[in-house]
Chain A
Amino acid sequence: RKEVEQDPGPFNVPEGATVAFNCTYSNSASQSFFWYRQDCRKEPKLLMSVYSSGNEDGRFTAQLNRASQYISLLIRDSKLSDSATYLCAVNRGSQGNLIFGKGTKLSVKP
């Protein structure tokens, strides 16, 4: 079993839709959680860190559920420009390496 798992998608949604992604992690010692966005043939760009209390940044909301060991990303009012692959990343230690999922592909259609 992979340490970090994501539904690969693709998620095909119309503009304006709300879409949610989940990511599960297997190591209960995981401490930090992140969502990255990756466009085709580009580097991962940090979208948001995920805090225990949940956090929101504009149209994006991230949640952490430690009991069930998953994190989620909710995108409201989807834009064409949101089309990308969304990567979940988990950090076991305070400064250690990230463990990535394979990513979930989102395609927002007009």
Chain B
Amino acid sequence: EAGVTQFPSHSVIEKGQTVTLRCDPISGHDNLYWYRRVMGKEIKFLLHFVKESKQDESGMPNNRFLAERTGGTYSTLKVQPAELEDSGVYFCASSQPDRDAGNEQFFGPGTRLTVL
């Protein structure tokens, strides 16, 4: 079974530019999450989709970040315009809750974003 995939693996952009990150969850997983790890800090939650609906976007830093999940399959996270503090690794995770296993989330390899 294919895992969570993310594209691109790395992105280097200049301040003020736009970047779009993509996440393909594990097939059949309704829950999709975006997280971010800034250097030296813990992994922090950004937002959560259930199918195509935003369930919780309380972790989104500001309105420069826009996430979509049209059709309830893959998701995109756009940063426009990017700022220096947006640099970090953006992880996507997906899950399909199971009564016994709980909500085990499986992570993609991440996109390393560097804003210069």
Give the CA-CA distance A94 to B48 in the complex, in Å.
13
**B97-A98 in contact (CB<8A):** no
Stretch at the interface among A10-18, A59-67, A72-80, A100-108: A100-108
Contacts of B48 in A (CB 8 A): 95-97
Contacts of B91 in A (CB 8 A): 43-44
Give the number of residues in B that approach A within 8 Å (Cβ atoms): 27
Chain B interface SS verdict (over half): strand
Closest chain A residue to B95, Cβ basis: A95
**Residues in B lying within 8 Å of A, measured CB to CB:** 31, 33, 35, 41-45, 48, 50, 55-56, 59, 91, 93, 95, 97, 101-110
**Residues in A lying within 8 Å of B, measured CB to CB:** 2, 4, 31-32, 34, 36, 42-46, 49, 87, 91, 94-103
